[in-house]
Amino acid sequence: MAKKEKQAASCSRLGTVGGQALIEGVMMKSKNRIAMAVRRYDNGQITARAKDYVGVRQKHKWLNIPILRGVINFIEMLLMSFSTLTESTEMLGIEEEAEPGKFEKWLNKVFGKSLMAVISFIAVIIGVGIAIALFFWLPLFIVGGLQNWLGFNDIVRSVLEGVIKIAIFISYISLTSLLKDIRRTYQYHGAEHKSIFCYEKGLDLTVENVKKQRRYHPRCGTSFIFVVLFISILGTAILYSAVDFGDNTLLRMSSKFLLLPILVGVSFEFIMFAGKHDNAFTRILSAPGLWMQRITTREPDDDIIEVAIVSLKTALIEEFPDFEVPFDEGYDIHGKIKTDGESK
C-alpha cells in the first residue's frame, strides 16, 4: 500500500473500533458487529463468535447530542461488558471435573443455560455495591470527619474527596495486578490496544506489526475512569459552592449520583477528542490515564496477540473477506445458532 493510501486509511479508521479484554480472550466492537475470540482451555485453539450489533445511537440519531451520547454509550458499554464476559466463558471449553452437589443441581435445573448469566448478574450487583461504598460513601465519611475536626471549607473538601477516590482506584488496580490471572488478562488488554493501533495506522494485522505498537491507548476505559475522577473534583467543587449541604451525608451522596451522568458525558467527550487529536493539550490531560495503563496493560505474548488479531478481523470481516474465522462450534457470522447447517 502506498504511503498516501496508508495515511488516508489511518485517518478513516480512527475511533471506528474499540475493545475489551476477556478471560483468555478479547472482544472487539466495530460499527455494526461485536466479535469475541478466546483461546480454549481444553485444546489451546482459538475460537470466535460474532454478532451483528446496532447501537441505540445508530437507531435514534437525536441521542448523539454531546454529553447525552456519553451517558448512552456508558450504559451500553456496561451492558455489553456484562453480556460478553458471560458469553465468552462459555467458549473456553471448561469441563466439569467434579460431580455437582445438590445445590448446583438445583441451580442448573432452575436456571439451565442462564445459570452463568445469573451468577454474573449477582457478581455485578455485588461489585456495584462495593464500588458505591468505596467511591461514594467512604470518601464522604473520611473527609466529613476531617472537616469537622479541621474546619476547612467545602472547596477543600471536594479536592480531598477526589484525591481519596483516586488513591482508592490506584490501590485497587495495583493490588489486583498482583494476581496471576489478572496479570494475564492485562496482557490481553495490551494486545487489544496494540492491535487497534496497528489497524488504525493502516498496517497489515500480523503478530510482528502488532508487537511494535504502543500498549497505551487514549480511548481506553482506564483513561476514561481517571478522567471521570479528575472532572468529578471540579464538578463537586462547583456543586458544593452552589449548595449548602451542611452535615447531611445522605444528601451529599444523592447529589453526587445526580451529578454522575454529567461527569460521564463530559469525560466521554474528552476521551473521544483525545483519541482523534494528538497534540500538547490532549497529551498533558491524557497523561494520568495513560500512566495508569502501565498497570492495567502488560506486554502480550505472541499467542495472546494472535487472539486479538482474530477478534479484530472477525469484527471487521467486511474489510478482511478472505479471513477464515475459526467460528465457535454451532455459530455463524451473525452470532446465530446453527441447526442442520442453517441459522435459527
Let me know if residue 305 belongs to a domain: yes
H helix intervals, 201-276: 207-211, 221-242, 249-276
Distances (CA, A) of 280 to 274, 283, 286: 10, 5, 10
Does the residue 228 lie in any domain? yes
The number of helices, as runs of H, and strands, as runs of E, in the chain is 13, 6
Let me know if residue 3 belongs to a domain.
no
Q: Is 2 among the domain residues? A: no
* pLDDT tens-place string over residues 285-340: 788 888 889 999 999 999 999 999 999 999 998 899 888 888 766 555 555 545 44
Q: What's the structural domain count of the chain?
A: 1
Residue 264 is assigned to a structural domain of this protein: yes
C-alpha cell at 267: 469525560
Please report whether residue 255 resides in a domain. Answer: yes
- pLDDT per residue as tens digits for the range 156-186: 888 899 899 999 989 988 998 899 989 999 9
Is residue 1 included in any domain, yes or no?
no
pTM of the model: 0.80
Residue 340 confidence (pLDDT)? 44
The range of the structural domain enclosing residue 54 comes to 8-343
> What is the strand order of the sheet 25-29 is part of?
18-22, 25-29, 33-39, 46-52
Q: Is residue 128 part of a domain?
A: yes
Q: Kindly state the cell numbers that stand for 315.
A: 469484527
Q: What are the DSSP calls for 100-147, one per residue?
A: --HHHHHHHHHHGGGHHHHHHHHHHHHHHHHHHIIIIIHHHHHHHHHH
pLDDT of 193 > 70? The answer is yes
Alpha carbon distance 318, 330 (integer Å): 21
Give the confidence band of 197 by pLDDT, cuts at 50, 70, 90.
very high
Residue 46: phi and psi, rounded to 5, are -85, 135
- In tens, the pLDDT along 246-258 reads 778 788 888 888 8
